[in-house]
Amino acid sequence: MPQAPQSRDAAPVLTQKIREEITRSLRKRLGLSLGEAIPARLKPMIDKAATSASEKTLELGLQADAEAAAKGIGRPVLFEGFLDKMSAAREGIELLGRSEDVSTILRRRAELLWAKKQSLEAAGFDSESAMRIILAELGSRSR
């Protein structure tokens, strides 16, 4: 059975509402009363503008829906990656905490910092100033 030709308008109800709003605005702009007819030469322009605006509205809505769907699909993947990284970080920290080498390195570093503080005090700095110097040096290295 042959099908009736389909309208090129994807959303006729939306297009009609837009057409009515355009017509209402145009009447005001032209100073036409409610009973006066819109000039015939403007009707195709109104129809074209309404159809175009309707299509654009649908396109924007579909794009927003597609982006929301992509975020919804991508979110679990992001969480999986995040959870994998957290697990690896946790395992790494546990490994470092159990390492005798790390403990030795940290202990030696503390001894060197203590020796530096004592040297600064021996050079005439008070304890608080010596600590500020050491903290400033440590802070500048981390940048």
Report whether pLDDT(134) > 90. yes
Q: In terms of domains, do 69 and 104 share one?
A: no
pLDDT digits (tens, 9 = 90+) for 101-132: 888 998 999 999 999 999 999 999 999 999 99
DSSP secondary structure string, 52-114? HHHHHHHHHHHHHHHHHHHHHHHHHHHHHHHHHHHHHHHHHHHHHHH-HHHHHHHHHHHHHHH
Taking the whole predicted model, whether its pTM rises above 0.85 is answered as no
Range of the domain at 116: 100-143
Both tokens of 119, joined, read: 């040297």
Q: In the predicted model, what is the mean pLDDT of residues 41-59?
A: 93
Q: In terms of domains, do 51 and 15 share one?
A: yes
83 part of a folded domain: no
129 part of a folded domain: yes
Q: In terms of domains, do 67 and 106 share one?
A: no
pLDDT digits (tens, 9 = 90+) for 21-44: 999 999 999 999 888 899 999 999
88 part of a folded domain: no
**Domain end position, chosen among 73, 91, 122:** 73
